[in-house]
Chain A
């Protein structure tokens, strides 16, 4: 992929997909929306956006016949918000299993521990280990979160965030990456993460 990037957004019904596409446009990249398995497999970078609930989100990927192709991708993949949560093994929000790429279970915030749910607004990142994806983004940087379920911290966490308890804010396992926050709505921090993602090679 010498210098040419071919970014696709997996169109699985998430309502934020147009916003993610616009965020790439703002950094000069045309990202095509597609639900075609062949098209996704050929792309240089694959983004799995998503807003909504894990159950219907997984169901939609099954209906489109995309779960296998996503799991088999070798190029850089970025899950955003729900798209990140679907990379995990399972979610309390869904009866069926998720994509199973990253170990762990996504759980609902407890009101007793976290207070108000959903966790909505700008919160600070804590960098857990150095990575290309978070190059230029430091601990204390603010990103925009909106979610009621959260993924556990662990070896896969590049950055965490604290809302009553600590959870995974940015994750990576092999070529699969994810951001719980919304890069498309996180101002300079968000566009930096997207640029860094485009710099990854498979």
Chain B
């Protein structure tokens, strides 16, 4: 049976993995390759690397570290950060990333999704969506990586997800902004609503605080994977214990 995926997300800055209170006060956690291997050894199914300074600095994630990660890692990984064109994506994919994730640039120019899918196939193209409820509707937010530029859009999240899939997104990562960092559980209502509209794999992001939250999001929102950062990095949740718990709960999980 197809396994549900546990996906640690690592923020990268200047070639190091960092953690911080959402985009401020970053503390270096360690080298990219050593942390990638640590998570692989603990049983992560996939990793996401997010170059947090790329987009605000108007550049693409650095292919140098992507190449180093591809050399040591034997599980799939996705790279996000500043990818605005087919050429940008090619540099990352040919450096060894399995997938690239686009967010704000796809909102600026939705045709980018079509171009990426045509060039590399839908399986390489992940669309990240930052979303939260505004005036009773889930709405897409743009430039959330830059506190000075972040803004909500008129576009509803459900419309955008449908359009992104139609254009060629092979996977959607839904980051539920108001739940992010709160550790009170994933945004089940929003994820369920998006799930009903989303015919490709859907990854939940934002809100994980304890192992029960993972069981809940798989059971109630039927997502294909659950992404988390701080609970893994800070040691609040160990992946082997999480997977053991999920297996006991009857969730399809790769041991």
- Determine whether the beta carbon of B1 is less than 8 Å from that of A124: yes
Residues of A within 8 A of B40 (CB): 187
Flag whether B81 is at the interface (Cβ < 8 A): no
A interface: dominant SS? mixed
A18 with B3, Cβ < 8 A, contacts A144-B76, A185-B74 known: no
Known interface pairs A122-B2, A122-B5, A148-B123. Does A19 touch B201 (Cβ–Cβ under 8 Å)?
A: no
Residues on A with C-beta less than 8 A from B122 are: 118, 148
Complex Cα gap A116–B196 (Å): 11
**B199 contacts A121, C-beta separation under 8 Å:** no
A120 adjacent to B170 (CB under 8 Å): yes
Task: Verify A26–B74 contact, CB threshold 8 A.
Answer: yes
Q: Which residue of the partner chain, among A51, A122, A182, contacts B254 with CB atoms under 8 Å? A: A122
CA A51 to CA B99, docked complex, whole Å? 11
B93 CB, min distance to chain A CBs, angstroms = 4
State how many angstroms separate the Cβ of A81 from the closest Cβ of chain B: 9
| Interface check B51, CB cutoff 8 A | no
Q: Is the CB of A121 within 8 A of B224?
A: yes
Q: Which residue of A is nearest B255, CB measured? A: A142
A190 interfacial by beta-carbon distance below 8 Å: yes
Cβ-defined partner of B224 (8 Å) among A23, A52, A120: A120
Q: Does A117 contact B (CB under 8 A)?
A: yes
**Contact, CB under 8 Å: B74 / A184:** yes
Asked if B200 is at the interface (CB within 8 A of a chain A CB), the reply is yes
Taken together as a complex, chains A and B put the C-alpha atoms of A187 and B4 apart, in Å, by: 17
Q: Which residue of B lies closest to A15 (CB)?
A: B93
Q: How far is the CB of A121 from chain B (nearest CB, A)?
A: 5
Per-position binary interface string of chain B over residues 24-66, scored 1 when its CB falls under 8 Å from any chain A CB and 0 otherwise: 0000000000000000100001100000000000000000000
Residues of A within 8 A of B171 (CB): 120
Tell me whether A116 and B201 are in contact (CB under 8 A). yes
- Say whether A185 contacts B2, CB under 8 Å: no
**B59-112 at interface with A (beta carbon < 8 Å):** 67, 70-72, 74-76, 90, 93-96, 98
Q: Cβ of A144 and Cβ of B201 under 8 Å apart?
A: no
Chain A's nearest CB lies how many Å from the CB of B34?
16
Chain A interface residues toward B at CB < 8 A: 15-16, 18-19, 22-23, 25-26, 51-53, 111, 116-124, 142, 144, 146-148, 162-163, 182, 184-188, 190-191
Q: Interface of B with A (CB < 8 Å)?
A: 1-5, 40, 45-46, 67, 70-72, 74-76, 90, 93-96, 98, 120-124, 170-171, 199-201, 224-225, 254
